[in-house]
Amino acid sequence: SKISVVHCFYFRGGAELLFDGVKKHQVTLPCQPEPWDIRNLLKWIKQNLLKERPELFMQGESVRPGILVLINDADWELMGELDYKLQDQDNVLFISTLHGG
């Protein structure tokens, strides 16, 4: 059987406030037949980690504009965005660049 993989997800720049103020989540994703991609990951985060105001984190099936996503310190735009297949021990960082004034 396929081994569940541990990933670290980080929320910064105010995004952590939507996750009970927790900045680092170490997560073992459940096994599934297809490899995890960011699209499925975002659905999982919304269902399992997000505590409040999902509209501030998600828009449709992606993150909302103003949230920067880094995969192992590289911009997800270079990695295929929603289609990026998670690898063992990937770090995914979500940084909110939206700040209330």
* CA dist list (Å): 35 to 5, 30, 70, 81: 10, 11, 19, 15
pLDDT of residue 74: 96
For residue 4, name the pLDDT band (cuts at 50, 70, 90): low
Taking residues 15-35, report their average pLDDT.
91
pLDDT of residue 69: 96
What is the per-residue pLDDT across 52-64, written as a single tens digit (0 to 9) for each? 999 999 999 999 9
Q: Which fold has domain 4-94?
A: Ubiquitin-like (UB roll) (3.10.20)
Of all helices (H) and strands (E), which one includes residue 52?
none
pTM of the model: 0.88
pLDDT of residue 2: 55
Tell which residue, 22, 8, 18, 12, has the closest CA to residue 86.
8
pLDDT of residue 1: 42
Its sign, for the CA torsion 24, 27, 32, 35, is positive
